[in-house]
Structure 1
Amino acid sequence: MIRLLQRGGRFVVSFGIRSVSGAMSELSGNSNAPKDETNVGIGKRKRKHRGLDAGDRYVPPPVKRKPGISFGEEHFRETESYLENGLRKVRPYYFDFETYCKGRWVGKTLLEVFSAEFRAEPLEYYRQAAQAGRLRLNEEIVRDLNVVLKNNDFLRNTVHRHEPPVTAQPLRILAESDEMVVVDKPSSLPVHPCGRFRHNTVIFILGKEHNLKELHTIHRLDRMTSGVLMFAKTLDVSKKIDEQVRERQLEKEYVCRVCGEFPEEEVTCEEPILVVSYKIGVCRVHSKGKPCKTVFQRLSYNGKSSVVKCFPYTGRTHQIRVHLQYLGHPIVNDPIYNTESWGPSRGKGGSIDKNDEELLRSLVEEHRSKNSLDVLDVTEEDLQLSIKRKSDDKGCSETQPVARENLQKSGDSTNVESPAALKTLEASRENDQSDGENVTNNVQENKQGLRDLLCGECKLIRPDPSPKDLVMYLHALRYKGSDFDYSTEMPDWAQEDWQLDLK
């Protein structure tokens, strides 16, 4: 299970199991999971705790986490995937977003927190979600959003989750041994659960469809990047390869198709790269960035675009893509670094006529107008909160914007269900025998119908992206270490006579 924890003023993602016995399945969203006897509605029982005044609310101490990533059958059973029109899709499912109370929330009411930080839904939605039994505070259903939050409060919000589709190209296993698993990752498929993606990820597909679990991520590829991706089966193997990475013993070779005629001679770019936004995933060349180095060699030129081999000697975020943009030869269909948002020169030579906030707004607006925000896996609300945090916390780590993924689903703002539908939901609540059954009954009623009374996404009709729009022309061709060498074939778009360029 994944959680966002507060440690020493920082926010850290933790993976593990929240409790040993009687706890709901972590990250499963399975409201039918066995519940501990303490999981009953507020006011259903009396507790005696020393040092508490009459009427004061008891907050249990935080529970230690078990390190490591572990997804089991209960997680894989949350939903199912299917192929349609060249896309891999996931049926909507119920899911629990969870978080401990942030320091800035202490002393504020739940209503104030939702109003200030979780604005993807109107306040009325959260009131109705509370009445439907979907909000829990320290595993107790909370109906009153005026409850004042305390340090160590643990919040859980059950939502109806929709995942964006990815390309239907299969995840191909290149090699498997007692120590490692190596796959050829398709473009558009994230490596691990993040943002709106969970079941449409490499980790979940390997676990659910190939029975490969408890894997250790050795390196990551951008969601839109395809190619060689390695996993270790043991911690010792993972540490051994990590050491090779630190000692610069790991050789990496990528191939891409870029705009224009790339120089015939070898080109080395050592411009420093700065992360503009971790949440949205945008970087730029900047003097305050981290040092990095990429070597480029042209393979072919077809009169419009060039196929280029890339040798990154460091592993900065979006390093190849940012360096190619700086050189004036961005990847042909890069949805971030080859867009009009960067100005007339599209970022060549580091020339950008916007500050960071203006750039982020422009990028999101450009994709919103093209109805392609799923390509970025962001919403306008993501941008608003990310910029707000940057303004409030100058110089702080940008892990905070990720916190908005807790307690609310990602998706465009929508109106809540009609009054008639809400009356139906209210009627179903009145038939419940206990507070703890509200969400469970609702899940059972809606699981097969794939429609939820409070879910705004269920009311939207989104056009499917074209499969070609989910493929970016950047591919991890080869990874070589001291005792291994894995590679894939050249992708179709990297062939010398390929002419189907985008206009």
Structure 2
Amino acid sequence: MQSPKRLRNAQTQHGDALSVDVENIFLHRFMLSTNSTLGSNTNEQDQPSKCVWFPDDTTADPTDHTDPPILLLEEPLEVAHLPEKRKAKNSEDESNAKKVKLDSNGLKTKRPGFNEERYEETSYYFENGLRKVYPYFFTFTTFAKGRWVDEKILDVFVREFRAAPPEEYERSLEAGKLTVNYEKVPKDYKIKHNDLLANVVHRHEVPVTSQPIKVVYMDKDIVVVNKPASIPVHPCGRYRHNTVVFILAKEHNLKNLRTIHRLDRLTSGLLLFGRTAEKARELELQIRTRQVQKEYVCRVEGRFPDEIVECNEKIDVVSYKIGVCKVSPKGKDCKTTFQRIGEVGDDSIVLCKPLTGRMHQIRVHLQYLGYPISNDPLYNHEVFGPLKGRGGDIGGITEEQLINNLITIHNAENWLGLEGEQVVKTEIKSELKTTLAVEVPIDTKSPEPVIPATNESINEAATQTCYEEPDRSFDSQKTTSDPHCSECKVNYRDPGPKDLIMFLHAWKYRGVGWEYETELPEWACKTTINYDQL
């Protein structure tokens, strides 16, 4: 059964709308309409399908131009720019706000921001070489936007968020999961200025590699780590606990780290954090003023030229929403030098020195030169035309068409996807022995709460704080479930190596009075590197 097309805005958890990972923008389209479509066709329900964290490129139909899966997110992109100065008018008003607990699991609605309690929302376990997160309940929060004032809350959520059918939001309002200023409100409540909206959801995070985050250097001012590929730096979209900042906090007690720079999720290598605001500002200034020399290694298709190649092509962001760039005369000044230092079969190991720090700079310049990174899921793809963007040739299509094509294939940057349209008949991983094959259609006249009033179908999530090791295998006693959570009914395929690794590594950083270096990754060590060229 074809699911209806729906649109939505992206959302991040860290306050940087420009750093949204592509795969965090789209997720399972069928989830949007399970309540309205399930139960309408018995034959479809009886045919199980395989659902995956990542699309299986070998089975994808290149002629399929249906809309991509949509991510279940609860906030629009604008939440990334919430003004911090919005506060209650006085302390008395603040204290009078009722911070009530939700009935069954004791969750409290939170003001936007970060606090220590969020480290304890859930814990990790290792399985099949992956770091996984036990599903947990999370409260998305946002202040009312000016354009929402005097509109009914249900109308706003249906129009602005569109991550779920209207019946879901109506049911959440009835259950007290979707609140205003910590209070349960009716669906015809009209939003006022500075209202705090909160919505409790059941979160399932995407697995990442189980490789440890190695500390390269640490003192009272700075922490330098070697980030494995597949782990985002900070919370965004589908990733929260499976991020560098959360893992360092929960397993190494390295909290309140200041992000100095970022690496793409699939890029591995050097990552610097400030432990003090002063140190973070100092290093940020060095990077901004181009006093930091950065060296990356990558593995590209074909035999790269013998001589040093300098690329000065300007780079423009085609779409911030899906995080795609290309060479363009209207872009920003950009410069990268490249030098072949080794070979692996038909591929070349290339040393990259970016003199500027544009989004996806190395990847875009290599694509333009005709030597894309061998396993780059975005810039080494025919969606950029028969030449894959070499020389700026994207096949004669417009930027708008390019974006639409990228969305259609939902393949770039390991976009999350499904191999089927139907809900899988599967058991929830818990001791409850509850099988949720299909979900009963919602009776909008009598909506059921998303979180039941008893603990018969929801149990407390395990928490993990400082210095605690992840579980070595899945423990059914530590998981949570929600009978109205679509993802609880999905049987995911674990991501494979091609979903976790891109052949790009931040190798050396050198600034004013400091220098750090990591070991080379395995994919760059299967060759004899000519160090005399370095």
Query: Any conservation in 1 of the 2:134–2:479 contact (CA below 8 Å)?
Result: no
Aligned partners of 1:187 and 1:365: how far apart in 2?
25
Residue number in structure 2 paired with 1:90: 133
Residue number in structure 2 paired with 1:327: 369
Query: Any conservation in 1 of the 2:459–2:479 contact (CA below 8 Å)?
Result: no
Give the one of 212, 223, 240 matched to 2:254.
212
Aligned partners of 2:345 and 2:98: how far apart in 1?
59
The question of 1:253 aligning with 2:295 is answered: yes
Query: Any conservation in 2 of the 1:280–1:376 contact (CA below 8 Å)?
Result: no
After the TM superposition, list the runs of 4 or more consecutive aligned residues in structure 1 that deviate by more than 4 angstroms: 1-6, 13-25, 33-36, 419-429, 440-449
Aligned partners of 2:438 and 2:158: how far apart in 1?
16
Aligned partners of 1:205 and 1:110: how far apart in 2?
36
Write the mapping of 1:68-467 to structure 2, written as runs, cut at 5 A: 71-72=115-116, 74-142=117-185, 144-352=186-394, 353-367=396-410, 375-376=414-415, 417-419=439-441, 444=459, 448=478, 450-467=480-497
Aligned partners of 2:175 and 2:16: how far apart in 1?
25
Aligned partners of 1:418 and 1:335: how far apart in 2?
38
Query: Any conservation in 1 of the 2:175–2:450 contact (CA below 8 Å)?
Result: no
TM-score, length basis structure 1: 0.74
AA aligned opposite 2:152: T
Shift of residue 441 of structure 1?
A: 9.7
Residue 213 to residue 346, structure 1, CA distance change in 2 (3 Å): same
Query: What SS class does the counterpart of residue 151 from structure 1 fall into?
Result: coil
Shift of residue 428 of structure 1?
A: 8.1
AA aligned opposite 1:418: V
Shift of residue 359 of structure 1?
A: 1.9
Q: Percent identity?
A: 47
Query: Any conservation in 2 of the 1:324–1:330 contact (CA below 8 Å)?
Result: yes
Shift of residue 212 of structure 1?
A: 0.5
Residue number in structure 2 paired with 1:475: 505
Aligned partners of 1:77 and 1:424: how far apart in 2?
31
* Cα deviation 1:233-291 (Å, max 9, x = unaligned): 11111121122223321010000001111111111111111112223211111122111
Query: Any conservation in 2 of the 1:4–1:99 contact (CA below 8 Å)?
Result: no
Query: Any conservation in 2 of the 1:24–1:33 contact (CA below 8 Å)?
Result: no
Aligned partners of 1:18 and 1:417: how far apart in 2?
41
Aligned partners of 1:113 and 1:474: how far apart in 2?
42
* Cα deviation 1:328-362 (Å, max 9, x = unaligned): 11111111111121111111111113333322232
Name the Cα RMSD after superposition.
Answer: 3.5
Query: What SS class does the counterpart of residue 361 from structure 1 fall into?
Result: helix
Shift of residue 115 of structure 1?
A: 2.5
Shift of residue 495 of structure 1?
A: 2.4
Shift of residue 310 of structure 1?
A: 0.4
Shift of residue 378 of structure 1?
A: 8.7
Residue 446 to residue 218, structure 1, CA distance change in 2 (3 Å): closer
Shift of residue 420 of structure 1?
A: 8.9
Aligned partners of 2:397 and 2:458: how far apart in 1?
46
* Cα deviation 1:204-252 (Å, max 9, x = unaligned): 0111100011111111111110000011111111121122223321010
Residue 254 to residue 427, structure 1, CA distance change in 2 (3 Å): closer
Aligned partners of 1:374 and 1:257: how far apart in 2?
17
Query: Any conservation in 1 of the 2:450–2:483 contact (CA below 8 Å)?
Result: no
Query: Any conservation in 2 of the 1:2–1:13 contact (CA below 8 Å)?
Result: no
Residue 269 to residue 71, structure 1, CA distance change in 2 (3 Å): farther
Residue 300 to residue 266, structure 1, CA distance change in 2 (3 Å): same
Shift of residue 471 of structure 1?
A: 0.5
Query: What SS class does the counterpart of residue 160 from structure 1 fall into?
Result: strand
Larger relative contact order, structure 1 or 2 (CA cutoff 8 Å, min sep 6): 2
Residue 276 to residue 339, structure 1, CA distance change in 2 (3 Å): same
AA aligned opposite 1:145: K
Contiguous gaps of at least 5 residues in structure 2: 1-12, 18-74, 419-436, 463-477, 529-534
- Bigger Cα displacement from structure 2, 99-108 vs 483-492: 99-108
Query: Any conservation in 2 of the 1:294–1:323 contact (CA below 8 Å)?
Result: yes
Aligned partners of 2:313 and 2:286: how far apart in 1?
24
* Cα deviation 1:394-418 (Å, max 9, x = unaligned): xxxxxxxxxxxxxxxxxxxxx9942
Residue 96 to residue 497, structure 1, CA distance change in 2 (3 Å): same
AA aligned opposite 2:514: F
